[in-house]
Amino acid sequence: MKRSVVKPLLIPLTAATAGSFWLSYRLFKYAFERVDHVPPTSKEKQKYADDYYRYVDWMKQVPSQTWTLNAQSPENKVVASFIPADSPTTDTVIVAHGYKGNRETMANYVKMFHDMGFNALVPDDRGHGESSGQYINFGWLDRLDYLQWIQRVISHVGQDSRILLFGVSMGGATVEMISGETLPPQVKALIADCGYASIKEELTYLLKQQFHLPEYPVEPLVSGINRHFLGFSLDDVSSTKQLAKNRLPILFIHGGRDTYVPVHMAYENYRATNAPKQLWVVKKATHAESFWYDPAAYKQRVTAFLKTYFK
């Protein structure tokens, strides 16, 4: 950021708090600013690399269409791939990717649903991939784009569409946050894999675990910086608050050894939900590893949920 942009934010600060502000600003840049590459995966998941790239190769070769929202507004453009099923169907899954990922990083899940006979719509969220945006909004603004994607699916596939929302990590939280909005009847069910309870709670947790920093004053300062640039505070970004308004069946999936989004957040999200719900904790899986740990069991669990609730 240019110094002239930062200066107005510094005016109210005393010399004693200026250091805290600059630390918080650097953390905001680190966590919220877009990157145009996918960071390396964790050491625990490196062993799945060959399988991952086979899925990516499949996704690059399968017939697809490129869809765009806000094409005439470069600063708001959002891009997605629509992959039709092999046989005509009214069933479509909308797949939300994780933090600093893109639609390509969801290739394994897209292939799973493709094999189950679904169409798939796979967006790049704001601040990721081919979509615009200087900052990552952790699903809060993305949820509004997904409302538009839902309508695009209905327009393309038909009024008799049946839509499943699915996401992993930040994408799981995005699905959870969408759940609190007014959704059309074509949306039938939700699956959220390792989504956080709120971005405030997640940031506070990572401040302690990764940076050994206290919540105060860093989190309130980061929240204020985020409000300045993105128009909302971190208190607004809550899966649990949105899930309390949800009325659709939802399957929560979480790794029991997740140290990035701790498993207690899955229980928080589960307790916040009053709709039909299931929770599957994969005891030995780390963050976003549940599919890779046992793909057959993952597909079986998803299939069983859909047989019960995707009607």
Q: What does the pLDDT profile of the chain (311 residues) look like in tens digits? A: 444 455 555 455 555 467 788 999 999 999 999 988 899 888 888 999 999 999 999 999 999 999 999 998 989 999 999 999 999 999 999 999 999 999 999 999 999 999 999 999 999 999 999 999 999 999 999 999 999 999 999 999 999 999 999 999 999 999 999 999 999 999 999 999 999 999 999 999 999 998 888 888 999 999 999 999 999 999 999 999 999 999 999 999 999 999 999 999 999 999 999 999 999 999 999 999 999 999 999 999 999 999 999 97
Q: Which CATH number fits domain 40-229+237-309: 3.20.20.110, 3.10.350.10, 3.30.70.1050, 3.40.50.1820?
A: 3.40.50.1820
Fill in the amino acid letter for 57.
D
- 3-state secondary structure (DSSP) of residue 56: helix
Per-residue pLDDT at 21: 87
**Strand, helix or coil for residue 251:** strand
Predicted pLDDT at 2: 47
CA dihedral 289, 79, 184, 167 (to 10 degrees): 0
pTM exceeding the 0.85 threshold for the entire prediction: yes
**Cα angle, residue 289 at apex, residues 274 and 203 outer, rounded to 5°:** 65
